[in-house]
Amino acid sequence: MVLPLLATSEEEKAMMQDSPDDFARLAIDCSEGQFIKSSKVVACEYLAQMSESLDGACSLISRHGLSLLASREEKSLDLGILMLDIVHLDVHQRPDLLE
């Protein structure tokens, strides 16, 4: 339900080329949830909250992000990177997840 909201849209790909500053702001918002409250940013905040609050959620999100990166499919790479970015602080605070 949340993952389709995280995928990079055609509009965002065009934004990356036409307006890199706006694209950078969107990327920062997905990590920090500061400025824009789009459905993508809210989905990122939801996953981050799950990662912090639910046992096993950080591991699940991390494993799924890594599997998307391992697939090497273009449409999966950005989603995998975003998922790992969402949980990176939780992973850093939990060395047991790195084993």
Prediction pTM value: 0.68
H-helix segments, 1-99: 3-6, 10-18, 20-32, 39-53, 57-71, 74-93
Q: Is 8 helix (H, G, I), strand (E, B) or coil?
A: coil
H-helix segments, 19-56: 20-32, 39-53
pLDDT for 70: 92
CA dist., res. 18 & res. 95, Å (int): 40
Domain ranges of the chain: 3-98
Task: Per residue of the chain (99 residues), give pLDDT as tens.
Answer: 677 888 888 888 888 889 888 888 777 777 776 666 778 788 888 888 888 778 788 888 888 888 988 988 877 888 888 888 888 777 666 666 656
CA dist., res. 58 & res. 70, Å (int): 18
33, HSE (Cβ side, Cα atoms, 13 Å): 13
